[in-house]
Structure 1
């Protein structure tokens, strides 16, 4: 359970996918420029050329897709929601797997819907879940749902105990529902405060004299001591009184909590109560506030000022009424100076010498950003626990077991990375009925699946140059299911491996991207899957049987248009890296034998660690359509998974360590060479653009390789990494106080003097991810450098992912104009 937000938004995404609707009637009239109506200039068909107004319109015309899909408990139907792009509300549906139609659920039916995040009891007969903060239990054989609590204050988490009781917690109070009697018992009251002092005997001369001479004072003291002693006896001996209050001090706050299967132990993660991910000094001004004034919106901290304190782990033994502090000495390398070489390099630059010393490092529970599981995993029917812990410096991740009596950690597996440990691929759990663990690790260079007996060696269940993710333990507990891109980095399928034999088998044969959910009966897979020109729909894959499409929410008008599916190609590297994967869109009527060469555009995806050169439908759906439009205008378009991108293993990811924007630009150079050789592109007529991290790369390319591109557009761009957030940036560049060399090397504002080609800078004023100030600072830097070849556009109401169709349209009109003016032979 997370009680406080530790990490802010991680990646640098250029767009936010806002899914659309089923078949929509379109007419020849231009719809009003609003958020709530579909806006198209004309019906879209094979004879119609794309327009920017159409591409950037409210995306509902593409189809309102199914989201958040999960199985019903009987494995016979699927639940999901749909949400119009401009609506703050979601509509929830249930669709039987043998039906073509889904039923929209009424508000008074939602509590009966099988809950995605419920927990199953040991016997597999009941499921407990939270709905609107209250505890419900469902009898799986009959489907009967019973509400067990009705509070105004919502519960934060729950779990079944081994005796079928249910533990749940509200804030820092932990309760147990006695199933046989229905009694709700508070088993722990955790106070982040100093323990009240007991009544002391008089200490000073004056006090002693007062008690000796004034009988009334002495009597009052005697009564107070008697009442205190009696209250403690009631706490200890009276069976009707709740367990004692735990006073854990007033300097920390509870960040995470987990209760053991027996209900005896509680593990707490504590953090400095004064720490906040919000910045101490800055605000984000909203110039168009609802009251007509400038609203000062609180902003997140920057990596240059953020100082995460780490976490302290504590075990509460409710039976022995004992608090045990967890010690970190059992973490192999817990006191290593893992940044010694970095600190030495930075000291040498200042003509200083760095003296390396060992000292304990700050640690915290590790949250898997890819799968969002708890970092505390209990064995199903025993008070045996495993923890996933990370160093705040991002260089180590430990899979450990914890002695609940002594607080001692034992390292089961240490994953060290001189660059940084991936924030994905950290799933783990207990192998059923064995004293062993399963987990993912990148230590061979690719995320693979392993098991390890607590007193034994590591065993690999998967091996290869591919990425394993999304683990699920089957209901019979004999298989672990997983997703992997074994056949091609851009193609994902579902597999399962037998825990005893180690044999893997492929369960799907999909030629694109997918997420999956195993049915409770273990017989079917629910897929959310897409292909290059086919947005996500839901499918049912019967294991060993047929694949059936469950939903058809992509609109006919989108489906029937002859979109160009980009080719996924391999671009040879001239810089000592592996081949670079890229999408390529060729112009209509492409003829490589033509004497006239083509102009080209290279798109740089956002997030840094994101994959876009795959066989699924791109999350950048507007850019996908824009690239189709560019091909109709005679451009070749490339979309490259430069170094640092996801899907290609550890070394591809960490190639940018302390050097952001340099390996990636080398890859872009290879991309231009490939286009010139294989797509008849004129090297002197190539432009580039991208948003967020893609905007950062646009800067780095134009500033450091001024002859590579003839023009560039940077959307919502990072200009100085010292101003971005700590969780993301400190992974790759460490922190500015420790490694200023990396920040100066990697921040565009440090290289702005290299600009010689036209540059367009576009930012949203309400961007709380990459601050508008990033662009303001760079613009002033360019002005002072007397650079005349840049223009800016601001969007007063837009956050990082734009919302208004009018803003999208204005932005891409400017990008298109930039390319038309600078890349065409006029």
Structure 2
């Protein structure tokens, strides 16, 4: 589950701060630095963060490649210097085309002599897309279209001789020597049967889109089949033409039928397909499939519908026979991750589990027997980054320093020799490790500081070269009078300690009273309180909060019970009763604010998006006396309207737990609304359907409550495109300034 008023923002953008309703005069007096504007944040490249586009490790650990000016350039790791142009932009001009390809991405074959280039990519949902793929031969400099039309997830075989891809719900293989295309499946049908890619709910909730996988020896392809014929359809209107068009897709709401999912193996040489035995129960999930290091052996993860029992199956891809080798259970639910790693030598694998109360690393033999627990403590592993078979070290990212931080560590298979690789200090590190673990690309960000992208040595973390320090953005930020984000903790009346962040105006005066806007997400396993400036919408929200602070507001965010990085008990305390404890904790945040001498307790507002919109809607109704104003963007208002995988993971099915669905639905509390309330939604939201806002509005009308709505035609859950975000945040800014 992994966004009407008068043109006030135009005044802000053109003239800087002015005397506005609800603002103390001291907040808008002459400033020494530039004022933040909505146009700077959303319409101009003023705060654009730079990165290293198209970064890929190459076979020889001494080099990496990156896209630069439409060309593909090879760099030496130890110096970061460009050593050769692998493919010039001029070589990427298809025959008869007027210009070179506008490249979206690329991948090498095994010997790096052929390259798949992606262009004209069209997003479908959150992770899925279709593109035009081209094969480039570095020896002949020949550029060839992979197939006709557009394809999905084109992938070289490990030996580099073939490419597999999807099209029209089927799987295909192309032999690169002859460019002959062979259909692996032919029964794919829209809204009925999908081969080789995920259905909507697997894509959204299990974060997977590609549904086929080459075997290490290139002889077989394992692939998913989703029979979604019995899944109910959701119907969205696409506005714009004389008669609106229907867009229908399969979407299993809580308690409804899911796709029947199977896994098969295709033998490339014989063309034979073998269906894997995943058990007689079809009402289950198969959230991960991968090949082990053992020849002909598939690993399939099987999860029961309630998602409290995860099994790892090992299967013979020739016969389809499988056996359960490991079972992980929880009284609440088991999270799915990508932290299953089969080690070279075909004898052991690594797996993470919360079974001791925190997400930790375990070593197992191939029969699933636990060899040892490698990490322990009141902290969590968030990713396995690599394994060095020579030294026996596992590299992983964890929260050992703080729940607000992420850093790189290593430990050996004996559970000893643990060492922090990341530099000392705070912040968050995102790691892309080379296959041989000799180097890693590190993206480091901390509170108020843009990301620094650097190359570092794997074993020591020593700096090799800074590739991007975002010096331009850093300099730009110094031109603005930004407030400092502070991290605090407070105890609730129940004795629970909660983490929070507080952004005060740069000219904060403790002798004055300030209005406060609370920002909430609050969903299971999430965090808004992190020592990280963030990227994308997280960074622009940070800047928007700075703009509000510039106008005399304090912005507070609280990580309530149910959020992540503090162990299973804290995260799963909201199980089967989502919304209850989270709302209590946000209310406790408002009550804590009311005790501070510099907070105007009569002027506390709240806003959030998606799960945060749900939390805002609950806060404005269940705790109506605490909040003067609220903005709910794309909220769930009734969990019966949301999908099976996410909702049932945390609430069970509505048939088993109706109270968990109804007792904390904002629709049930519409009659309590007192404050000013803005409800925002995109009509083309395939994730949290517009239906949620319609239901809440109907309840508010029935209760004779005043509210304001803002809807965006055909916009999805992100409510973006063109000047959409600028428009949205202008309306939200106006609403805050007028009502808080």
TM-score by length of 1: 0.70
The answer to whether the 8 Å contact 2:482/2:505 transfers is no
The answer to whether the 8 Å contact 2:684/2:716 transfers is yes
1:542 matched residue in structure 2: 457
Which residue, out of 293, 303, 306, partners 2:253?
303
Is the alpha carbon distance of 1:95 and 1:610 closer, same or farther for their aligned partners in structure 2, counting shifts above 3 Å?
A: farther
Equivalent position SS for 1:722:
helix
The answer to whether the 8 Å contact 2:522/2:582 transfers is no
Give the distance between the partners of 1:799 and 1:318, measured in 2 at CA: 39
Q: Deviations over 1:616-649 (max 9, x none)?
A: 1134223212322333333322112222323333
The answer to whether the 8 Å contact 1:94/1:105 transfers is no
The answer to whether the 8 Å contact 1:266/1:317 transfers is yes
The answer to whether the 8 Å contact 1:403/1:409 transfers is yes
1:729 Cα deviation after fit: 2.3
Q: For 1:401-416, what aligned pairs fall within 5 Å after superposition?
A: 401-404=314-317, 407-416=320-329
2:632 matched residue in structure 1: 714
Is the alpha carbon distance of 1:144 and 1:468 closer, same or farther for their aligned partners in structure 2, counting shifts above 3 Å?
A: farther
Give the distance between the partners of 1:672 and 1:441, measured in 2 at CA: 35
Give the distance between the partners of 1:29 and 1:821, measured in 2 at CA: 19
Give the distance between the partners of 2:520 and 2:260, measured in 1 at CA: 34
Give the distance between the partners of 1:678 and 1:82, measured in 2 at CA: 52
Which residue, out of 483, 486, 490, partners 1:564?
483
2:35 is the alignment partner of 1:50: yes
2:357 matched residue in structure 1: 445
Give the distance between the partners of 2:68 and 2:258, measured in 1 at CA: 37
Is the alpha carbon distance of 1:485 and 1:785 closer, same or farther for their aligned partners in structure 2, counting shifts above 3 Å?
A: same
1:108 matched residue in structure 2: 91
Q: Deviations over 1:54-73 (max 9, x none)?
A: 45431521125225533344
Which residue, out of 694, 697, 710, partners 2:615?
697
Which residue, out of 261, 283, 287, partners 2:236?
283
2:333 matched residue in structure 1: 420
Is the alpha carbon distance of 1:497 and 1:702 closer, same or farther for their aligned partners in structure 2, counting shifts above 3 Å?
A: same
Q: Deviations over 1:454-495 (max 9, x none)?
A: 243242122222221332334655332211121011111112
The answer to whether the 8 Å contact 2:106/2:117 transfers is no
1:529 matched residue in structure 2: 444
1:600 Cα deviation after fit: 1.6
2:690 matched residue in structure 1: 772
The answer to whether the 8 Å contact 2:261/2:282 transfers is no
Equivalent position SS for 1:769:
coil
The answer to whether the 8 Å contact 2:445/2:451 transfers is yes
Give the distance between the partners of 1:155 and 1:623, measured in 2 at CA: 32
2:552 is the alignment partner of 1:602: no
The answer to whether the 8 Å contact 1:390/1:397 transfers is yes
2:56 matched residue in structure 1: 70
Look at both structures and tell me which one has the larger radius of gyration over its CA atoms.
1
1:489 matched residue in structure 2: 403
The answer to whether the 8 Å contact 2:640/2:654 transfers is yes
Equivalent position SS for 2:468:
coil
Is the alpha carbon distance of 1:687 and 1:365 closer, same or farther for their aligned partners in structure 2, counting shifts above 3 Å?
A: same
2:472 is the alignment partner of 1:551: no
Q: For 1:353-372, what aligned pairs fall within 5 Å after superposition?
A: 360=281, 362-367=283-288
1:631 matched residue in structure 2: 549
Give the distance between the partners of 2:628 and 2:362, measured in 1 at CA: 49
Give the distance between the partners of 1:795 and 1:376, measured in 2 at CA: 40
The answer to whether the 8 Å contact 2:33/2:479 transfers is no
Equivalent position SS for 1:494:
strand
Of 305-314 and 128-137, the range deviating more from structure 2: 128-137
Give the distance between the partners of 1:561 and 1:629, measured in 2 at CA: 10
1:684 matched residue in structure 2: 602
1:501 Cα deviation after fit: 5.9
1:307 Cα deviation after fit: 1.8
Equivalent position SS for 2:443:
strand
2:292 is the alignment partner of 1:378: yes
Give the distance between the partners of 2:693 and 2:702, measured in 1 at CA: 14
Q: Which structure's residues are more often strand, by fraction?
A: 2
Is the alpha carbon distance of 1:580 and 1:59 closer, same or farther for their aligned partners in structure 2, counting shifts above 3 Å?
A: farther
Give the distance between the partners of 1:586 and 1:144, measured in 2 at CA: 59
Of 315-324 and 652-661, the range deviating more from structure 2: 315-324
Q: Deviations over 1:706-751 (max 9, x none)?
A: 2221221212222222223333223222333443322212321122
1:379 Cα deviation after fit: 0.7
Give the distance between the partners of 2:152 and 2:714, measured in 1 at CA: 36
Is the alpha carbon distance of 1:808 and 1:252 closer, same or farther for their aligned partners in structure 2, counting shifts above 3 Å?
A: closer
2:658 is the alignment partner of 1:743: no
1:598 Cα deviation after fit: 2.8
Which residue, out of 51, 60, 84, partners 2:45?
60
Is the alpha carbon distance of 1:565 and 1:187 closer, same or farther for their aligned partners in structure 2, counting shifts above 3 Å?
A: same
The answer to whether the 8 Å contact 2:284/2:302 transfers is yes
1:561 Cα deviation after fit: 2.9
The answer to whether the 8 Å contact 2:386/2:437 transfers is no
1:239 matched residue in structure 2: none
Q: Deviations over 1:661-681 (max 9, x none)?
A: 211111112222332345632
Give the distance between the partners of 2:160 and 2:534, measured in 1 at CA: 46
- Long gaps (5+) in structure 2: 4-12, 17-29, 93-99, 119-131, 198-210
Equivalent position SS for 2:602:
strand
Give the distance between the partners of 1:167 and 1:631, measured in 2 at CA: 56
2:719 matched residue in structure 1: 802
